[in-house]
Structure 1
Amino acid sequence: MHAYHDKLAFWIERSFSEKEKDFIRRECGPGGTDLDREEGKRRARFNPKLIQRIETRQPSQDLLKFLSTVPGLYLNMVEFTLDLIFESEEDRDEMYQYLDRHLVKRNHRGEVRYVKRTRYTDRRWAPTNLVMYPPEFAKLTGEVYCLHLEFRVCGVRALDRMEIRGVTDLVNFDHHAFWAPRLLIKRIGDFARLGRIQSNGERRQRKHTPNKPRIYTTRRGFRYHTDARIGQTLWRAKETVQKMIDDARKKKIPVSRSLIPIDNRALLPIRKIEKSGNLNGSNGMGEANVKCLANKRTPSPIKPKIKRERLQS
């Protein structure tokens, strides 16, 4: 498991010197930087003092510390990334399918979209976008069987809501604390309650269904739980928890009351702090090897076997 900043985008008021440019190129990861692409070609529409927009990919801690000292730097985009590493392609694909069904984004107002095997929770330049896809290999280490989770934050307002007001807030960043509330995995806790909520929402002019079970009996004596049947049918029709929540929100039906959270600690980066206060690893990464995942037959909770490994500093 690797947690890091995949990309930073910012504007600057003055050009970097050649020595500073060499340092920036050297301290970026495999993705590099577009440092020379638009130098002096355009200014920011919202502030003419800003003369160049720069993207740096997989920046090291040293680069983050350097950028935090640059005067007039205007940070307006960050991609927070979590790479999950598996032992086989089957394990990775199984986890992708599981998270696709149960991963939920808080306060979601967009629409989940799929482009090939990439899952987006909103349009490309939305203020926040939770992205998931299985790359050919991990960007930082080249490991195969990787599942890439990415929380994209675009715009100063969105960053400010997360209390990120500059590159200084990204130095020694606590990826564990960031992902803990955002890697939200939920399942249906009670199909009968889900069906009852759905029925009450669809028939607002009637009295609410009582809490006691509604049992329907056919002429031949077959009996089944009406609310549970409605809940199970709804789940099969929607296929994912996020879609079920989004569709119910349009009708103002509170289906979230029937959901319960799944323990996500096995998927979070390790919070390990040295005596100096710095996170282990040049990119502030936690590391673990996710070997397998939950049994498909039981939707909760996720119980992947984790092999903890210490990072080499």
Structure 2
Amino acid sequence: MATVLNLFRRADGIQPTGVHAYFDKVTVWLKRPVNDSERTWLEGQCGSGGLHVQEGPAHFNPALVQRLQLRQPTREALEWLAKRNDVHLNLVEWGLDWVFNNEGDRDEAWAFLCRYHVKSHHRQQGVRFVAGNTRYTGPRRAPQVFVCYRDLPCRVTGELYCVHLEWRIKGAQTLRRLDLDSIDRVLRKGHRGFWLNQLTFYELVHDDLGRRYHNWALRHRQHRPIYRPCIAEWPNGFRYYLDRRAGGTLARALGSTQAVVDEYGSRFNIRRSLFSIDIGRLLPE
């Protein structure tokens, strides 16, 4: 129980003063181009970065003749697109900003995110850090990439101490697999519904992780804790818990739950060694 209680205290220590969810970028192709008045209206419905328009047929479907990329679009703009019957959605970037009062609280949240976040179906994409302030869960061209950084102000309020989270989904096939292949479905999913499924944090249960590691490494099944003398001649029969020590060593050596899952997930059933961290209060309403 001590591990679980410490875990909840660690999660409860993340106390943002604001949680802001928005669509950072949405890209669609149209069969019927927007006219000048519609284009002007859409420009007014975008935030920082505005509206980008590309004329000409799509290489994958000549019937699609205009590409619109909306940066931080309003819900009204997306609802307007959802009513059209000629929209082909092929990119959505979901944004989430955690805002804090000071640099220390922001950095604590950043460290928590880097240590405990786990991306499902990560395979061998790896985790990349840029300048110590930006974390990528895969290459930029991957169909799904989770990006977070801590060195820029909040895109919604302009507040300085912000951890920005961004989930980039590109390609109609990937969106279809997530049941997000239309603007209407994206809106019905909602920000909380999306992040609740995608933003997952796990602590490693050292005892269980160490036992599974030993079972894999020693090629035998040992379901009970293993106790052995640390040094036989020590007084009072001193001994330590080998499974717990091994699990803790793996966690410290690799530095994050994601790194341990990536390294050993294909070797033994590591999912049984993960304890889910509830972050419901860090998600948008």
Give a deviation string over 1:250-269, Cα, whole Å, max 9, x none. 4x222221111111112111
1:194 maps onto 2:209 in alignment: yes
Q: How does 1:15-34 map to 2 (within 5 A)?
A: 15-34=33-52
Shift of 1:52: 2.7
Deviation per CA, 1:36-58, whole angstroms, max 9, x where unpaired?
xx323xx2221111123221011
1:135-166 residue CA offsets vs partner (Å, 9 max, x unmatched): 42111221221111111111112111222221
Moved more, 195-204 or 1-10: 195-204
Look up the equivalent residue of 1:55 and give its one-letter code: Q
Q: How does 1:252-271 map to 2 (within 5 A)?
A: 252-270=267-285
Partners in 1 of 2:213 and 2:225 — Cα distance? 16
Ranges in structure 2 where 5+ consecutive residues have no aligned partner: 1-18
Which of residues 97, 111, 114 is equivalent to 1:100?
114
User: 2: distance between equivalents of 1:259 and 1:140?
Assistant: 34
Please give the alpha-carbon distance, in whole angstroms, between the structure 2 residues aligned to 1:257 and 1:214: 22
Query: Counterparts of 1:195 and 1:71 in 2: how far apart (Å)?
Result: 55
1:165 and 2:178 correspond: no
Which stretches of structure 1, 4 residues or more, deviate above 6 A after TM superposition? none
Q: 2:101 aligns with which of 79, 87, 90?
A: 87
CA distance in 2, matches of 1:238, 1:115: 18
Aligned match of 2:87: 73
Deviation at 1:107, TM superposition (A): 1.8
Query: How many Å separate the matches in 2 of 1:217 and 1:123?
Result: 44
User: For residue 54 of structure 1, what is the aligned residue in structure 2?
Assistant: 68
Partner of 2:150: 134
- Aligned partners of 2:168, 2:229: CA distance in 1, in Å? 48
Relative to structure 1, is the Cα distance of residues 141 and 210 closer, same or farther in structure 2, using a 3 angstrom cutoff? closer
Report % sequence identity.
Answer: 37
Count of aligned positions: 262
Q: Deviations over 1:225-262 (max 9, x none)?
A: 11111111111111000000000024x22222111111
Equivalent residue letter for 2:250? L
- Structure-2-length-normalised TM-score: 0.87
Amino acid at match of 1:46: F
Q: Does residue 219 of structure 1 match 2:232?
A: yes
- Decide whether the 8 Å contact of 1:30 with 1:58 is kept in 2: yes
SS in 1 for 2:42: helix
- Give CA-to-partner distance per residue, 1:6-48, whole Å, 9 cap, x none: 100111223221101100100001221212xx323xx222111
CA 1:111–1:217 in 2, change beyond 3 Å: closer, same or farther? closer
Q: Which of 180, 190, 197 does residue 174 from structure 1 map onto?
A: 190
In 2, are the aligned partners of 1:76 and 1:156 still within 8 Å (CA)? yes
Q: Determine the C-alpha separation between the residues in 2 that align with 1:172 and 1:57.
A: 20
Does the residue aligned with 2:95 lie in a helix, a strand or coil? strand
Output the CA distance in 1 between the equivalents of 2:55 and 2:223: 67
- Aligned-partner SS, 1:20: helix
Determine the structure 2 residue equivalent to 1:285.
none
Contact 1:216 1:225 in 2 (8 A): no
CA contact (8 A) 2:147 2:165 kept: yes
Shift of 1:125: 2.2
Q: TM-score, normalised on structure 1? A: 0.79
Check conservation: 2:127, 2:135, Cα contact below 8 A: yes
> Cα distance, 1:182 vs. partner?
1.5
Question: Which residue does 1:236 correspond to in 2?
Answer: 252
The equivalent of 2:13 in structure 1 is none
Q: What's 1:64 paired with?
A: 78
2:11 is aligned to none
Aligned pair 1:203/2:221, yes or no? no
Give the 3-state SS of the residue equivalent to 1:96 in structure 2.
Answer: helix
Q: Which residue of 2 is the match for residue 3 of structure 1?
A: 21
CA–CA distance in 1 between the matches of 2:256 and 2:275? 14
CA distance in structure 1 between the aligned counterparts of 2:71 and 2:227, rounded to whole angstroms: 57
Q: Which residue does the alignment assign to 2:169?
A: 153
After superposition, the Cα gap between the structure-2 partners of 1:226 and 1:58, relative to the gap in structure 1 and judged at 3 Å, is same
User: Relative to total residues, which structure has the larger helix share, 1 or 2?
Assistant: 2
> Alignment RMSD, CA only?
1.6
Residues in 2 aligned to 1:111 and 1:15: alpha-carbon distance in whole angstroms? 40
